[in-house]
Structure 1
Amino acid sequence: MKHLPTTLLLSTLAITLSAQAHNLVPAPKQTQSVLIKNATVHTVIQGVLTNTDVLIENGKISALGPQLSTNTTASTQVVDASGKHLYPGLIALDTSLGLVEIEMVRPTVDNAEVGDVNPQISAASAYNPDSELLPTIRYNGITHAQIVPSGDGLAGQSVVVDLDAWTIEDALQPNEGQFHVYWPQIKRMPEDEKEKAKAIEKNQQAIDKLITAFEDGYRYFLSQNAQDTDNWPNLRWQAMLPLYQGKATLFAHADSVSQIEQVIALTKKYQFKLVIVGGYDAWRLASSLREVNASVIYPHTLSLPKRKDEPVDLPFKIPSLLANAGIPYALGFSSDWNSRNLPYAAGYSAAYGVTPEQALKSVTLDAAKLLGIADLGAIAVGYQGSVVLSDGDILDPMSSKIDAIWIEGRQIDLNNRHQQLYQKYLKR
């Protein structure tokens, strides 16, 4: 194999590294009160309030109402939002942001670990807060994201971050543990009978391996409860203890009826707190999901049907089917770059059966509740001052125009790679 010239290697490395970091400076911690006046406020909790003021102090919403006083401090930043809409920051679920930079450049992809039983792995260890993707994502009103490891089997633990920070420690949002399992499935059934039998057998082996892993973790949990002094720590099963203690949630990636039924059976056995990620067929199993108090992250709103004989608009309608079935759900967008389309996926769900208020709630408050974060996803006193000011409907790509974003009261720089390229080629 021929060796590349040193200069070419260095150039390639420089290009790769430059593609992994943006040059925007994260906003400093809020020191100046922010008073947003005369906005149409989409509170999510109290409906839509017109000509309403919102005061943000020390990273939290401290007051909400008409004609709030501007004399809170001499240095209060007053923003005239007349004719504009104020929304809670949107929350992107099931993303690989900060783990994947350029999908076709392997050194910039760090979203999965080797092996299929890795409960000890956390997405926090690989998250890049300088990712070039983040400024573009938040330009669509997304202030927070769930960063999820990919893989087969037990892939690891996700974290929740805000999208403007120097380090992962600064970005992390406190929440309970989130363990992700990708339930095995046969992606495409072979037509040949022998190959079909092999595929079924291989899939069953993968399921058996997962069931064994969960049982091993449970036995380790029991030994810890018994304070077995002879038991040596095992990193895998030690990491899973919060799951068996009821202090963490199992996020099971499953779409089909059979997958979801198997996950429900597992949940019943160990009394896990359960969230189904995918949930294409979840509405068909409403009573079973309600029985185990499961929620759903539905990421397929802009997808095509999974079966040839289904209506072409079924994926668009599933959020309304989940709502009608009484299943708590939030919308996700399983991607890196494309997670910026989350608000438009929510808008699509509003066009196909849910109310605009429910559509907004599915990417704000419902998402925060599903993640176990109590002070995010709404505009109300005591909630985080993470809000988005828009000229139009944030769920409508034709009218949405983001004017300003605050994350915990810090005003965020809206510059991004897309804007930079637009300005560059506008002058060509």
Structure 2
Amino acid sequence: MNMKTQIITILLSFLFIGSLSAQQTPAPKQTKDYSIVGATVHIGNGTVVENGLVVFSNGKITYAGKANPSAQKGEIINATGKHVYPGFIAADSSLGLAEIDAVRATRDFDEVGGFLPHIRTIIAYNAESRVIETMRPNGVFIAQVTPRGGTISGTSSVVQLDAWNWEDAVLKLDDGLHINWPSNFSRGRWWLGEDPALKPNKNYSKSVQNIKTYFEDAKKYLSGNRTPKNIPFEALQGTVNGKQKVFIHISGEKAIVDAIKTFNELEVKNLVLVRAHGAIKVADLIKKNNIPIIINRAHRLPNSEDEDYDLPYRTAKLLTDKGILVGLGMEGQMERMNTRNLPFYAGTFAAYGLGKEEALQLITSNNAKILGIDDKVGTLEAGKDATLFISKGDALDMRTNIISDAFIQGRKISLETHQTKLWKRYANKYKNQ
């Protein structure tokens, strides 16, 4: 075999291996009508309809409510004894921006620099990520693709999780700017011999002032003749005029108070607090300013020694009772892989005081409202996208959330992943022994 033939053989081998490991082909556009009959329909806004009917055509829901034979059309899906839910929405996730945490070349969620409002995650989004396909068997069909790092990380976008590329995936382009608010406490760098104990951050006030000055400079630029052109400042246009949301990743009640005060002074609206540990202590201020919160997963330790051990589990209940709009985000360790467990994190909040349908709202209508996509998804209502699924049991329960049929914008999607293939393979191996 000559060298040319060897090279061709090797290239073909790589192409073959790549085809085996690639994500399955996205589902084709809906061409026939569907009627799901007999199921318990969870609308997503707190309403539950027993023996319900959901009808959708051309990617849109045309009917969702009580059984109505005259509204049925197209292919009938008998879902008696099953449950229908809107597709779940993962806020504050870096899905599609990294594949293998241990391989730097696959990570593309953090750019070099501190103030990067012009960085857009959507053009880095990998629609063929094998991590993404593992979301769908649990009902997670939509995600906010969020940047990390720096003081101003950049701009997120909202995508649906069955697409050929980022252009096909987009539900809402450049939905919001993400800011990492400085902490008023810091730890010493132990690897440099500094005391690792928690202590007041002596640079906190300076860091806050830097954010304020940056926005003031941007507003001056945007209201002037804009020469020479400043691309980062140009990217803040939507934030300054109130058309784009500002997601403030923050912890601590003092920091939350300072952030609200700072952005009120800057006359920057549409704020969303993300993570917001300690928010319950300043809940009245947050409610007064009509600011929603995207909270962290419940499965974590309290943030300080004087907090109740189960406070992370009760946070959703406490904030909801204060009248604050609460959604559920995924920021944290192994966030991309763990995003598939989004409904079960919501289920944990349900086990600690929040009603089951209220917990469902954290990842359906509430997240949709916070991300500004509630006109398209989040609830099962006529006119909205037919992004939904049928489960044999409670979708917030890991044991019973077994999905039989799933649709994104009316397209019947595959629930097969490399994980389900391995599960079936080894299940058969041991069954035959």
Alignment TM-score, normalising by the size of structure 2:
0.88
Correspondence list, 1:3-402, <5 A? 22-45=22-45, 47-64=47-64, 65-69=66-70, 72=73, 76-174=74-172, 177-185=175-183, 188-190=186-188, 200-223=201-224, 228=225, 231-271=227-267, 272-334=269-331, 335-373=335-373, 374-402=375-403
Question: Structure 1 residues 19 and 321 mapped into 2: Cα distance closer, same or farther (>3 Å)?
Answer: farther
CA distance in 2 between counterparts of 1:197 and 1:41 reads 49
Deviation at 1:292, TM superposition (A): 2.1
CA distance in 2 between counterparts of 1:143 and 1:88 reads 9
Q: What is the identity, as a one-letter code, of the residue corresponding to 1:62?
A: T
Q: Tell me, yes or no, if the aligned pair for 1:179 and 1:249 is still in contact at 8 Å.
A: yes
Deviation at 1:198, TM superposition (A): 9.9
CA distance in 2 between counterparts of 1:242 and 1:284 reads 31
Question: Structure 1 residues 114 and 21 mapped into 2: Cα distance closer, same or farther (>3 Å)?
Answer: farther
Question: Structure 1 residues 378 and 394 mapped into 2: Cα distance closer, same or farther (>3 Å)?
Answer: same
- Is there any run of 5+ residues in structure 2 with no aligned partner, and where? 1-6
Deviation at 1:205, TM superposition (A): 3.9
Q: Tell me, yes or no, if the aligned pair for 2:94 and 2:146 is still in contact at 8 Å.
A: yes
Give per-residue Cα distances to partners, 1:368-390, cap 9 Å, x unaligned.
Answer: 01111122111111121111100
> Residue 4 of structure 1 aligns with which residue?
none
CA distance in 2 between counterparts of 1:417 and 1:45 reads 33
Deviation at 1:29, TM superposition (A): 1.3
Q: What is the identity, as a one-letter code, of the residue corresponding to 2:238?
A: P
Q: What is the identity, as a one-letter code, of the residue corresponding to 2:358?
A: Q
Q: Tell me, yes or no, if the aligned pair for 2:140 and 2:340 is still in contact at 8 Å.
A: yes
Deviation at 1:231, TM superposition (A): 2.5
Deviation at 1:91, TM superposition (A): 0.2
Q: Tell me, yes or no, if the aligned pair for 2:43 and 2:380 is still in contact at 8 Å.
A: yes
CA distance in 2 between counterparts of 1:78 and 1:387 reads 16
Deviation at 1:232, TM superposition (A): 2.5
Query: What is the DSSP-based 3-state SS (H/G/I as helix, E as strand, rest coil) of the residue aligned with 2:290?
Result: coil
Q: Tell me, yes or no, if the aligned pair for 1:316 and 1:349 is still in contact at 8 Å.
A: yes
Deviation at 1:267, TM superposition (A): 1.8
CA distance in 1 between counterparts of 2:359 and 2:327 reads 9
Provide the identity percentage: 34
> Residue 3 of structure 1 aligns with which residue?
none
Give per-residue Cα distances to partners, 1:76-113, cap 9 Å, x unaligned.
Answer: 22211111000011000111100011100111100011
Deviation at 1:340, TM superposition (A): 1.1
CA distance in 2 between counterparts of 1:214 and 1:157 reads 15
Q: Tell me, yes or no, if the aligned pair for 1:251 and 1:275 is still in contact at 8 Å.
A: yes
Q: What is the identity, as a one-letter code, of the residue corresponding to 1:285?
A: V
Question: Structure 1 residues 175 and 110 mapped into 2: Cα distance closer, same or farther (>3 Å)?
Answer: closer
Deviation at 1:304, TM superposition (A): 1.1
Mean alpha-carbon deviation: is it higher for 390-399 or for 418-427? 418-427
- The number of residue pairs the alignment matches comes to 411
Alignment TM-score, normalising by the size of structure 1:
0.89
- Is there any run of 5+ residues in structure 1 with no aligned partner, and where? 1-6
CA distance in 2 between counterparts of 1:68 and 1:269 reads 57
Query: What is the DSSP-based 3-state SS (H/G/I as helix, E as strand, rest coil) of the residue aligned with 2:182?
Result: coil
CA distance in 2 between counterparts of 1:144 and 1:197 reads 37
Query: What is the DSSP-based 3-state SS (H/G/I as helix, E as strand, rest coil) of the residue aligned with 1:133?
Result: helix
Question: Structure 1 residues 243 and 427 mapped into 2: Cα distance closer, same or farther (>3 Å)?
Answer: same
CA distance in 1 between counterparts of 2:408 and 2:259 reads 36
Deviation at 1:19, TM superposition (A): 11
Deviation at 1:207, TM superposition (A): 2.9
Mean alpha-carbon deviation: is it higher for 404-413 or for 38-47? 38-47
CA distance in 2 between counterparts of 1:325 and 1:284 reads 11
CA distance in 2 between counterparts of 1:44 and 1:348 reads 17
